Homo-oligomer: A and B are copies of this chain.
């Protein structure tokens, strides 16, 4: 079964916002065995939307559309649906009641005509009730294609996908299985990996596909199997990964189903009842922010000192001034002191510290742009590594954060 995901909105086409909805929907469909054939972003123009709907009809079995359901004049998805399905808008009483409740109860103001129009839906649509906002989703069919329209606001879209649409799709469609498993490797380039695993790759059966996903400092190897026997596919993938460990096991830090490494760390450290603190300089809060974006962080994360200025490293973190004067602020000695001080101040089991020069200009140090030191304080002591992450700034910060997570992950695994 194949789907196309469509986002509507000029803000995407002029690059004002990044479309994150399509990725979320694709992942949800993938989990239930529906393959996304294409993703498409189109403008707020009626003709463009109509042309898109016509083109997709009978080409895929499912079209999921986000955007254009707001209360303002630039939102035209509902009217366009009426044209395409030769339908008219009617007032949905349950939605109207909910809109009233939200506007009058939550925002404490009288409901207006514009608000009321949120409760209008095409008469032939199955209304997908949206608990999280005023715009309902809609489910309509034309010949062999189901068209689903959802609001573009991410948390409303997510609610409808998870709670309403996925259960309904599972109920109403026969789907085959798609099994993915991604092997995370760190510290070796993709071309070198490709050479080393060439024989293994050539021996994969034709229903298993391999993809290389390089990003700063790491390469993920994704295996995808498609077929009808989910258990069989899973076993086959597990066996292939076991073989892979024999070839490049030294650079593999684990496998990932849906899990970013920060989630894996969060689970691991929580299960081991250990605590963590951080002292970030060049990464500027990104390590802490990535961890605290996951709920439950308060059970292991004590806190962080973002010591961006040199004075902060001395006065607040307590790094000895002599150390900085002797070795410079971007050095092994300073990063290790930062980690130890953080561990001590926060009374945590582990502490990560970063210091470096992310560029494009040199800051409080003469270190080459791209130089980053990362230290890890553990219950047994402290160690650090020096890296050069090149340029530009976003790559340096991104690689430093990934590398910090890698060091931490390997360390916690040992215990």
Which residues of A come within 8 Å of B, CB atoms? 9-20, 22-30, 35-44, 70-75, 107, 109, 112, 114-115, 118, 134, 153-155, 178, 180, 182, 189-192, 194-195, 201, 209-214, 222, 224, 278, 280, 283-289, 291-293, 295-298, 301-309, 311-312, 315-316, 345-346, 358-361, 363-364, 391-395, 397
Contacts and interface: CB of A to CB of B under 8 A. Distances in A.
Contacts of A13: 26, 35-39
Given A37-B43, A307-B303, A214 B16 contact: no
B30 A24 contact: no
Given A115-B191, A285-B306, A288-B308, 20 more contacts: A10-B224, A15-B36, A16-B222, A18-B20, A19-B19, A19-B39, A40-B41, A72-B191, A73-B201, A73-B210, A284-B288, A284-B293, A284-B297, A288-B289, A293-B394, A295-B359, A301-B309, A302-B312, A305-B305, A315-B345
Given A191-B115, A222-B11, A289 B292 contact: no
Nearest to A201: B73
Nearest to A189: B107
| Copies of this polypeptide in the complex | 2
Nearest to A281: B303
B295 A393 contact: yes
Contacts of A211: 9-11, 44, 74
Contacts of A40: 38-41
Contact of A70 (B26, B212, B315): B212
A79 B155 CA distance: 41
30 contacts: A11-B211, A12-B39, A13-B35, A13-B36, A13-B39, A14-B178, A15-B23, A15-B26, A15-B30, A15-B36, A72-B212, A74-B212, A109-B192, A112-B192, A153-B214, A284-B288, A284-B289, A284-B297, A285-B286, A285-B287, A286-B289, A288-B288, A295-B360, A295-B393, A298-B363, A302-B311, A303-B309, A304-B305, A305-B306, A316-B346
Contacts of A210: 73-74
A104 B309 CA distance: 37
A280 to B, nearest CB: 8
A222 B12 CA distance: 12
B285 A289 contact: yes
A72 B15 contact: no
Contacts of A19: 18-19, 22-23, 39
B42 A38 contact: yes
Given A26-B13, A73-B194, A305 B316 contact: yes
A24 B15 contact: yes
B36 A38 contact: no
A360 to B, nearest CB: 6
B190 A72 contact: yes
Contacts of A308: 288, 292, 297-298, 301-304
A35 B15 CA distance: 10
A109 B189 CA distance: 11
A316 B297 contact: no
A312 B345 CA distance: 9
A240 to B, nearest CB: 15
Contacts of A39: 12-13, 19, 39-41
Nearest to A27: B15
B15 A28 contact: yes
Contact of A191 (B37, B71, B153, B394): B71
Contacts of A38: 13, 40-42
Contacts of A23: 12, 15, 17-19
